[in-house]
Structure 1
Amino acid sequence: MATPGDGAPAEHDSNDSLFNRLYTGTGAFEVVGNRRRFYVLTLVIIAVCLASILLRGFSFGIDFAGGTKLTMPAGEIDKDRVAAVVEESLGEEPEMVQIVGTGNARIVEVETRFLTTDEIAATKNAMFEEFQPVTAAGETSVEAIGDSARSESWGGQVTQKALIALAVFLVIVFVYIAFRFEWQMATAAIVALLFDMITTAGIYSIVGFEVTPATVIGLLTILGFSLYDTVIVFDKVEENTRGLKHTASRTYAEEANLGVNQTLMRSIHTTVIGILPLLALVIIAVWILGVGTLMDLAIVQMVGIVTGTFSSVFLATPLLVTLKQRDPEIKRQTTKVLARREKAEALA
């Protein structure tokens, strides 16, 4: 149960509506006082994600796993029939068959293991005999079926560069926030970012979304969104707690909880506004235009925006309070506030 010194909610009318409390930001939603519950929830989420990553792994795209890709105008072709023809030719199922685009722009993409020159020729001939694809010039020819090979080392190079960029990014973020605010806020922000990365990766593992270079790039972009949301909350907390050590009206935990409430509606609006254009991107760019790379970017960013909002509200600020309560001056101020309240209650 939350105590007054632990970030207890402000008094409010029981008839107050949920939306009224959200918009007024009165501190009625107890976040900091229930931080132990959120810590447990966070640890459970991390444990599930790490278990899936270690046991289930990821579904890597051709850029990471390596292999051969065949492409062909789709027309009205059914992808299951394409998979059956390829399997009959190779003697094994293709790793992935998908159709992207609409109308005349529809194409079928087939991903397989690395194929020899003879295997590529045999598979293309089998597909041509079955579907009679037409080239851009309007001729029925096997040339309408394209092929390309991708080495797994290319995806590894992308990942390596992304990890280097991530390390540099985290160092810069820590230094900036520690300089602009304080080291406790910098630590809480970095922990929230690490939670976002683990959770997003875990969801990809659990659901089985394909991991591509675009996914790796998208993962880096969502960190900026999460950091923005966290800094907005921290800025309000700093404003509320400025000069706190010289007062005895509210504790640091209570002021931090008030700051979360005052920015909660903004966080919700930012999340919704961030997700809507990504949904439009999926509908227009992927379903209509058939650009698969944009699907990878959109999915990872939608997942990241949701996890980023959770971490900035329910992890970063509660963790900040836990770190700040180790400060002797904050401890003394909290004790002074509680003692004053006890005295006032006794007199009453």
Structure 2
Amino acid sequence: MPDTIEQLLDQDSAFDGYNRAQIAIVVTNPFLEDNPIVYVNDAFARCTGYARSSAIGRNCRFLQGEDTNKADVDKLRHAIENEQTVTVDIMNYRASGEKYRNRLVVSPLHDDAGKLQYFIGIQKELRNGDADTSAEEINAALIEIQNRVATDLSLVIGMIRQQSGATSVPEDYAALHRRIETLQLLYEEMKLADSQSNRDSIPMGSYLSRVAAAIAHTMGRPGVRMNLQIEPLEVPIETATRVGLVMSEVLTNAFQHAFDRMDSGLVEVSMSQLSAGGLRLVISDDGVGVPKDMQWPDSRTMGGRIVSGLIEGLEGTLLLGRGAAGSFITIDVPAGATLLDE
């Protein structure tokens, strides 16, 4: 199994009247020796003082110290050995040596066949009053975050495996980070505050704008511009997940390939609501264009197969067009996937 997953998500949640609290997320790989950490988010680094590079590859026990209760450690070990979900309040130590009490939810991530893939740890530092006055609220919020992370990480990993026919996650981690970072932005839009924990939609315009900006920041280069024309639209979370991942694939492909040997270029992204109630997403460029003899999505590439799977899951359509300069991809999502129950 591979040993690196970067940029899973950076989740700030809210408790007790929208007071912001850092939620640290850790992913470990039980198929590597000593079940080491393969991913931590920024909140983990801020809370513990350990940089990602210092945490990756180590077992989580490096956070323990002299005052860590052995019974808490044994409870964690027993749950991990038996692939069970467990919640425990444990004494941990920051890189500075400072002690802090940490509420930790650890759960196994299984594939569709029930085979263990990873362990996910969701952590919140317990401050004055937390353990006594808001334990139920904190537990509920942590478990909800854990469930959301597990569901969406399973979607990404499961689709990659289904499309590739591989028995383990492909070692294309630059692409895997980007796909999971797209989910990170979804979580941030959801906020997962107490008052919002049951909401079933997110503002799609805001979400896609942030996805586009993140990809342009990572993949962009001097001379290549990006314009956005995205209408505000509320859509169900499951639809947003798939559309965001499709956009990530298509937009990344444009930045990577559309302007080969060109000094400048333009990428445009637009999203609008269709008259019948669905949505239309168009991503275009004025670059070299997709070769006429090439079909896209390309079933020979992982990204192409993932896009096809996502579009199929949306019951949507994807159309590749070629302009006087460059290419454009039009994605239509039907009303059934975008309309919310009144």
Alignment TM-score, normalising by the size of structure 2: 0.24
Larger strand proportion of the pair: 2
The one of the two structures with greater contact order (alpha-carbon pairs below 8 A, sep at least 6) is 1
Quick check: which has more Rg, 1 or 2?
Answer: 1
